[in-house]
């Protein structure tokens, strides 16, 4: 196996790092405090090709590989996890699904502006009574011949207030259970489509998370993705790929916290020497570095196998499960290494600790990832 990055991948990594430091770092604490969406920064991310990284250039994308996506996601998340989740949703959940499963007309109309960063998208699966359980959809889409009538509520939708296009999962035929579920492209502003209040969250406070309400929304039949009843398979396939994005976000949060802790340990003195010279601190840093490297290798493996067209349900779940735990553990230790300063906003690590927790929850909780992994192990052993 070749673990060396290509020249192009290194250039992408450096470009994302430079952008994060020059465009995202200034004001990141203020955006977190005010729960302010990074509109200007996201627009620039689109201009750099970061919102449609893996999409074919003929549809407005950058045509990059998945390893490049992991590298860029890590660099963005090191500085601003809120901007990273906007990037993750648009790339992994919206653009990837549209490119793979939509027809040409849908791609030209919706994928092209999304991949180019002209607009951003949202993926609406979760409901008040159906988070990770995609089979329990209460949102309905009644077939009326040339259109569907959409009714229901979606919860915890990232980019919920700022998106222009939404992929909405709904039940058309309850008797068919998961085979009666469909996926639709819904546009902001359609009659009956309302956006609920913004959620006041523990972390990733710069991203906008809303509930979505649909009351007799008329959705043209041409906005259905795939054949009738394809929605469940569509959602599962998209979520499999989406786990790479969240794993990379978690990796970035962890590596960003580690870098800050390392820098602090090299300058902060206690008992007449820098605290990195004390074994208690040095061992923490050694464990952090080891875990982060292991998480990165899992993310790379998932990315490579995705580009090879392999089934990544198991490795993607492993990457997401492990990286999110590393993010949580590393940020807690980073706060501890900073001592009292770690509890203060200006040192960033307290925000990173708050941001890390969500990586264990969205795209399926850690418990869901263990279910996916264990089922795969049982099936393939």
Same CATH topology for 7-120 and 122-231: the answer is: no
pLDDT in tens, 19-42: 999 999 999 999 999 999 999 999
- Provide the CATH topology of domain 7-120: Butyryl-Coa Dehydrogenase, subunit A; domain 1 (1.10.540)
User: What pTM was estimated for this model as a whole?
Assistant: 0.96
3 pLDDT tier (thresholds 50, 70, 90) = confident
Mean pLDDT of 187-214: 97
Residue 131 pLDDT greater than 80, yes or no: no
- Provide the CATH topology of domain 238-380: Butyryl-CoA Dehydrogenase, subunit A; domain 3 (1.20.140)
pLDDT in tens, 274-315: 999 999 999 999 999 999 999 999 999 999 999 999 999 999
pLDDT in tens, 54-71: 999 999 999 999 999 999
122-231 is classed CATH 3.40.50.10680: no
Mean pLDDT of the chain: 96
Helix axes 313-338, 279-307, angle to 10 degrees: 160
129 pLDDT tier (thresholds 50, 70, 90) = confident
What does the domain layout of the chain look like in residue ranges? 7-120, 122-231, 238-380
132 pLDDT tier (thresholds 50, 70, 90) = low
- pLDDT, residue 364, reads 80
- pLDDT, residue 130, reads 72
Catalytic residue list contains 363: yes
The whole-angstrom separation of Cα 245 and Cα 312 is: 13
- pLDDT, residue 98, reads 98
Q: Which of 259, 308, 363, 367 is catalytic?
A: 363
- pLDDT, residue 381, reads 80
């Amino acid at each position: 196996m070749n673990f060396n990055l290509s020249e192009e991948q290194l250039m992408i990594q450096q470009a994302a790092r430079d952008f994060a430091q020059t465009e995202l770092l200034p004001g990141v604490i203020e955006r977190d405090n005010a729960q302010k969406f990074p509109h200007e920064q996201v627009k620039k991310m689109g201009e750099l090709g970061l919102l449609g990284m893996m999409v074919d250039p003929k549809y407005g994308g950058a045509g990059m590989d998945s390893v490049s996506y992991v590298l860029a996601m890590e660099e963005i998340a090191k500085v601003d996890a809120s901007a990273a989740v906007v990037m993750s949703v648009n790339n992994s959940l919206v653009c990837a699904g549209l490119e793979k499963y939509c027809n040409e007309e849908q791609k030209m109309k919706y994928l092209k502006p999304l991949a180019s960063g002209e607009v951003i998208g949202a993926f609406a699966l979760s409901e008040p009574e159906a988070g990770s359980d995609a089979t329990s959809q209460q949102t309905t889409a009644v077939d009326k011949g040339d259109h569907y009538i959409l009714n229901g509520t979606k919860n915890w939708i990232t980019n919920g207030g700022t998106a222009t296009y939404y992929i909405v999962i709904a039940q058309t035929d309850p008797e068919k259970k998961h085979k009666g579920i469909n996926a639709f492209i819904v546009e902001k502003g359609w009659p009956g489509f309302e956006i609920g209040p913004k959620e006041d969250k523990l972390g990733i406070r710069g991203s906008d998370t809303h509930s979505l309400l649909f009351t007799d929304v008329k959705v043209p039949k041409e906005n259905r993705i795939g054949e009738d009843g394809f929605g469940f398979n569509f959602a599962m396939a998209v979520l499999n790929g989406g786990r790479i994005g969240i794993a990379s976000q978690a990796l970035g949060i962890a590596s960003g916290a580690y870098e800050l802790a390392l820098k602090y340990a090299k300058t902060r003195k206690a008992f007449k020497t820098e605290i990195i010279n004390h074994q208690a601190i040095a061992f923490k840093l050694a464990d952090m570095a080891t875990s982060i490297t292991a998480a990165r290798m899992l993310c790379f493996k998932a990315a490579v196998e995705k580009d090879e067209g392999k089934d990544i349900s198991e490795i993607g779940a492993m990457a997401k499960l492990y990286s999110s735990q590393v993010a949580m553990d590393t940020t807690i230790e980073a706060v501890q290494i900073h001592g009292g300063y770690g509890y203060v906003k200006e040192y960033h690590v307290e925000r990173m600790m708050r941001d890390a927790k969500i990586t264990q929850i969205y795209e399926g909780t850690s418990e869901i990832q263990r279910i996916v992994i264990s089922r795969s192990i049982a099936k393939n052993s």
